[in-house]
Structure 1
Amino acid sequence: MIKEFREFIARGNVIDLAVGIIIGAAFTSIVNSVVEDLINPILGLLTGGIDFTNKYIVLSGTVPDGASLAAARNSGAAIFAYGSFLMAVLNFLIIAWAVFLLVKVVNRLQRAALRQKVEEPAPAGPTQEELLAQIRDLLADRATMADYPLPRP
């Protein structure tokens, strides 16, 4: 069983998956920072700090007016918390947009690196005239060798 486990872990797919998960976790922190530290403050400034998280409708039961969502949930009333859902959807869209922009930047950098690699001059080889001269010299050597055939045993 230990041998099978070692073989399983040593497979390329498992290692690739582990690396992907680790990179994904690191990338998640970058995306979260972009969203929380850069995008959300700008959106808050543009929207006047609107936060839908505490918006809800009481379906049944009683909740004091102006109570927070947490207080409404603790009161035991049936709550339709549409604000939390709207904020989750909005956060998802913001994160998806941030990931899209980051992937777009990475793709642009990769294309630029590839373009730069392609634009590098190829090593200079012999010119067409030099190649023709080499062929001529080889043919001349072959013709000279034909004038002096090797004796047959």
Structure 2
Amino acid sequence: MSEKKEPGLMQGFKAFLMRGNVVDLAVAVVIGAAFTNIVNSVVKGVINPVVGALGTKSLDSYSSCLREPCTGTGDTATGVRILWGSVLGATLNFLITAAVVYFLMVLPMAKFLARQEARRRAKEGTQEVVGVTELEVLKEIRDTLVAQRGPGRG
């Protein structure tokens, strides 16, 4: 009796890494990290100056004080300060990232896949028409041959 040898730990790990979805995920993470730098640059170079025209130069400096006195920063700070400007900045980063991913990646890919599906359906539709036409021709040939033999020779 021969025992079936189970794959080793490294072979299983290699199979896991070579799955398409793991590789796709790794590529997405690398591209996402690089894209984050672009979005941060847009926020710091475009959004923050626009906000700066209305107030301070950075969203991070917007805050509210819940308990007075709100003085100092870091460990020497007193009072309770809510840094809502940094939350607003992070929200803008997220919205810009989501918009760019949607409009430059998701939407074009969805349109591409829809066109591919329409082409596939059109191709299947013409194949069905050709198939039905061929079947009808074969039936006509059969009927013609039966008619040529004459009645009662079937």
Kindly provide the CA deviation profile for residues 96-119 of structure 1, in whole angstroms up to 9, marking residues without a partner as x: 233333312221221122223333
**Which residue does 2:108 correspond to in 1?**
105
Report runs of 4+ in structure 1 exceeding 6 Å deviation. Answer: 37-42
1:114 aligns with 2:117: yes
Shift of 1:37: 6.7
Shift of 1:133: 3.0
The runs of 5 or more residues in structure 2 that have no matched partner are 1-6
State TM-score, norm by structure 1: 0.56
Shift of 1:87: 0.8
CA contact (8 A) 1:57 1:81 kept: yes
**Which residue does 2:142 correspond to in 1?**
135
CA contact (8 A) 1:34 1:98 kept: no
State TM-score, norm by structure 2: 0.56
CA contact (8 A) 1:52 1:84 kept: yes
**Greater helix proportion:** 2
Identity level (%):
18
Q: Secondary structure of the residue that 2:8 maps to in structure 1?
A: helix
**Which residue does 1:4 correspond to in 2?**
9
Shift of 1:38: 6.7
The runs of 5 or more residues in structure 1 that have no matched partner are 64-71, 148-153
Kindly provide the CA deviation profile for residues 3-55 of structure 1, in whole angstroms up to 9, marking residues without a partner as x: 1342243148x724421322312441575477457788665686565631122
Aligned residues: 135
**Which residue does 2:4 correspond to in 1?**
none
